[in-house]
Amino acid sequence: MTVQPVSMIADHQKSISLKGAEKHFGPPGGGVQALTPTTLDIVGGDMTVLLGPSGCGKTTMLRMIAGLEPPTAGTIEVGGANLWANGARDVNALKQLGMVFQEANLFPWLTIEENIALPLKLRGVNKAQRQRKSRELCELVGISGFEKRYPKELSGGMRQRAAIARALSYDPMILLMDEPFGALDAITRDTMNAELQRIWMETRKTVVLVTHSITEAVFLASRIILLSPRPGRVQEIIDVPFERPRDSSIHGLPEFQSIVAHLRTQLEH
């Protein structure tokens, strides 16, 4: 499993580097070491999956990259810029990050269109441009025709599509996703995985996705970063060689099954 992913030639501007980044909750000496000092590069323009059981630090790592939690020590570079310089978030680095949460977290008082364009509104983009961008993104994520609806009128899968569109609205180079399909049913989840791959192929963003589903990880990832708990640390980095676009038939390939089996063994340790 040392095959190089096809998308190795990627823009360094879209890459993420962790340099000794660690996260400790609670008092020094006590508390919990959520993530031990970690140094790794996430390739720009690629699809990387953080995989591991609960408590392995995968969500903590993603939240630090997203600028939602400061690292206790070490640095995180986004496109070469230090995200957490002097404890404050670097605004230019932050602009390159779009975050999708497990829940869609759409604002119920805004229409889908207004939700998607909210980041643009905060940036002072005018209404006509916001509407145009929303339309475009609704088409990209497959919810055209629902622009004027309210979130409660949409299904869980469609709400998550809108959340992805919102994260893409200001055209960040990096899309971060924290178990984005974890709250969806299995059938919708498979559809969303295929859709995410399509969106990724159309936009060529750097995607970093957190999951605890092995098959989801192998289906989506060009590279899997496997983490293990107590204390949270990177256990192994695995490249996944399948050509894109991948469809559900790859689940039956012997190589797919051998990667899944390998990951399962690693996770059981």
Partner 1 sequence: MSVKDNSVTMEGPTLFPPWIGSVLILIVFLGSWDGYVRLFDVSMLVLPPPSAVVVQWLKFLVDGNVWYHTGVTTLETGLGFLFASILGVGLGMLLGKMPRLERMLNPFVIATQVVPKVALVPLFIVWFGFGITSKVVIATILAFFPILLNTVLGVKSVERGHSEVMASINASPMQRLTQLDFPSSLPYILTGMEVGVVLSIIGAVVGEYLGGSVGLGNLAVREMNTYNTTALFAVIVHLSVLGFLFYAFVVGVRKYLIPWHGSSN
For residues 101 to 140, the per-residue mask of contacts with partner 1, x marking binding by CB under 8 A and - elsewhere, is x-x-x-xxx--------xx-xx------------------
Nearer to partner 1, 147 or 259 (CB): 147
Stretches 54-62, 86-94, 154-162, 181-189: which one binds partner 1 (CB under 8 A)? 86-94
For residues 147 to 166, the per-residue mask of contacts with partner 1, x marking binding by CB under 8 A and - elsewhere, is ---x-x-------------x
For residues 12 to 51, the per-residue mask of contacts with partner 1, x marking binding by CB under 8 A and - elsewhere, is ----------------------------------------
Site for partner 1 in 157-216 (CB under 8 A): 166, 170
- Cα(238)–Cα(261) distance, integer angstroms: 13
How many Å separate Cα 112 from the centre of its chain? 21
Stretches 6-14, 50-58, 65-73, 130-138: which one binds partner 1 (CB under 8 A)? 65-73
Q: How far is the CB of 59 from partner 1 (least distance, A)?
A: 12
Q: How far is the CB of 65 from partner 1 (least distance, A)?
A: 11
| Contact call for residue 244 and partner 1 (CB under 8 A) | no
Footprint of partner 1 (CB under 8 A): 66-68, 89, 91, 94-95, 97-99, 101, 103, 105, 107-109, 118-119, 121-122, 150, 152, 166, 170
